[in-house]
Structure 1
Amino acid sequence: MLIAQLSDPHVRPDGVLYQDVAPSNAQFAAAIAALNALDPRPDLVLLSGDLVDKGMPAEYARLRELLRGLEIPLLVIPGNHDDRDVFRRAFRDHDYLPDSGPMHYAAGTHGPVRIVALDVTLPGLHHGVVDEAGARWLDETLAEEPQRPTIVMMHQPPFETGVPYLDLYACGEDQRLAAVVSRHRQVERIVCGHVHRFMLLRFGGTLLCTAPSTTTAIALQLRPDARPASHLEPPAFLLHHWRPGVGLITHFLPIGTFPGPYPFA
């Protein structure tokens, strides 16, 4: 099973650049075209938060127009830049999303890998938290199918990255989440967005990775006094490839046109 993960497109109204710098809508359209062109094509696309930048209805309307070009089934989860109420109205045709409260859900009809989404966002705030109710929901949901390979999707990552301006807005109560995940060995990967970079670490007895943004890359600066910065690096996405007897391999794919292919490997 092939599962593509896009994250943090920060779609804006027509003609508006993200942070007055990046053409986020055009970059997201290029990401969609890249997914459609993959051979073999992914079975499923995960969009792991910050779908739009300001939570405005006009942004969601433009987002849905762009998503009409995607020819692959899609699952979504909100991020800190999303407005839950407007998000819910924009995706009212996505019947896996709950009608109220946190947007936790489990989706298992797209292939052998089950997707469990944990909504850790706090409306109006940039950081997230795994609260007791969310941890209990996740524990009970994972216990329903203990033998099925599973990906847990969330927006804010539950660890300190070492980048000071990112760690202000991480997901709190990481130990609560780690305790739940460690009880469920079928969790192949925790996938997050939010940090606009690819990162990988062990967490709760499994692997956790973050996806790059399709828009900008937040600068990797590890000095404790570093000031916030971003770059227009090549946008990218992740491709999670699950096979029986192998498990889940995660690939990093830049989006764009590059020299090649050349007849060597």
Structure 2
Amino acid sequence: MTLIAHMTDLHLRPRGLACYRVSDTNMFAERAIRCLKSLDPQPDALVITGDLTDRSDPREYAVARELLSRLDMPVFLLPGNHDSTSGMRREMSSFPGISETGDGKICYTAKIGDVQLIALDSHLPGSPKGELGPWQLAWLDSRLKETQVPTLLALHHPPALSGIVHMDNMGLVDADALAEVIAPHAHVERIICGHLHRPIIASFAGKVMTLAPSTGHQVVLDLTENGPALFNFEPPAYFLHYHSEATGVVSHMAYVEAFPGPHHFFADEGVVWPGDEA
């Protein structure tokens, strides 16, 4: 079996600075990494689908390098709208795939256990929207035709709409072109992404899209037409993508918070469950 952890939207800041003045994203990220290190079994890899940093500041990338160095597993990165392709390539070049050339984009493939990861770069300079672009879409098409290995497609901007209008307005501008590329390929078992700071499951091009919440603050769930852009501190979480021959890809959401338990399912003394009568 293969187990892949998926985190997103860490929004790391220079040490001592909060994100949006009130979100201690570095502390939240520390807790998420500590939680990940406590898992048994340990994941085969961690994928972070963008917004590793908040402003693509070299000091933020330095925090990221120190934090991720604590993990005894490969870490696969790709840029979000708050990062930059050039900044990530310069500051995180020691991480797998980052230094590969891709017509200006960070895109690469990696084998993780019995699963193929294809990482895509949807960063669009000067815009919160995302774009893959013709070169990267052609590259993706050729990669998908090379093998029938079960594949996870990773990018920052979700290609499917969520109903949260202000976030959908800064979505993936060439989502229709992406759909044309991936629709014929049954071995694309999951699209994993971030950007919306909420756990969202949707269908896209006949595939399952799994959008992970942030390890820090979350976007307020507002499905009204003109809802404002607001965030809150709902519990941070991440996804674990489990794959086996018997199951295919199964996605579990894991919370960073510590909760009471675990407890055994014992009935009160003297209580007999229906069907268990002597």
Q: TM-score, normalised by structure 1?
A: 0.96
Residue pair 2:51, 2:81 contacting (<8 A) in 1 also: yes
Q: 1:165 corresponds to which residue?
A: 166
Q: 1:125 corresponds to which residue?
A: 127
| Long gaps (5+) in structure 2 | 267-278
1:235, distance to aligned residue in structure 2 (A)? 0.6
Residue pair 2:108, 2:119 contacting (<8 A) in 1 also: yes
Q: Distance in 1 between matches of 2:179 and 2:85?
A: 26
Q: Is 2:109 aligned against 1:106? A: yes
Alignment of 1:214-233 (within 5 A): 214-233=215-234
Residue pair 2:75, 2:96 contacting (<8 A) in 1 also: no
Q: Distance in 2 between matches of 1:95 and 1:22?
A: 29
Q: Distance in 2 between matches of 1:120 and 1:79?
A: 7
Q: Distance in 2 between matches of 1:12 and 1:135?
A: 32
Residue pair 2:13, 2:26 contacting (<8 A) in 1 also: yes
Stretch of structure 1 that moved more, 214-223 or 67-76: 67-76
2:143 maps to a residue whose letter is T
Q: 1:57 corresponds to which residue?
A: 58
Q: 2:146 corresponds to which residue?
A: 144
1:139 maps to a residue whose letter is D
C-alpha root-mean-square deviation of aligned residues, in Å?
1.2
Q: Distance in 2 between matches of 1:212 and 1:176?
A: 25
Give the structure with higher Rg (CA): 2
CA shift digits 1:120-162 (9 cap, x unpaired): 21122110123222211111011111x2000000000112211
Q: Distance in 1 between matches of 2:34 and 2:240?
A: 15
2:30 maps to a residue whose letter is A
CA shift digits 1:79-132 (9 cap, x unpaired): 000022221121111242224611111111x31100001112112211012322
Residue pair 1:130, 1:176 contacting (<8 A) in 2 also: no
Paired residue secondary structure (2:234):
coil
Q: Distance in 2 between matches of 1:167 and 1:95?
A: 30
Q: 2:25 corresponds to which residue?
A: 24
1:23, distance to aligned residue in structure 2 (A)? 1.0
1:248 maps to a residue whose letter is V
CA shift digits 1:168-224 (9 cap, x unpaired): 110012221111111111001000110101111111121111110001110110111
Paired residue secondary structure (2:202):
strand
CA shift digits 1:228-251 (9 cap, x unpaired): 111111110000000112101001
Residue pair 1:151, 1:187 contacting (<8 A) in 2 also: yes
Q: Distance in 2 between matches of 1:184 and 1:82?
A: 30
Q: 2:71 corresponds to which residue?
A: 70
Q: Distance in 1 between matches of 2:160 and 2:206?
A: 14
The runs of at least 4 consecutive aligned structure 1 residues that moved more than 3 Å come to: none
Paired residue secondary structure (1:25):
helix
Matched residue pairs, number? Answer: 263
Residue pair 1:33, 1:70 contacting (<8 A) in 2 also: no
1:9, distance to aligned residue in structure 2 (A)? 0.3
Give the % identical residues. 37
Q: Distance in 2 between matches of 1:161 and 1:205?
A: 16
2:122 maps to a residue whose letter is V
Q: TM-score, normalised by structure 2?
A: 0.92
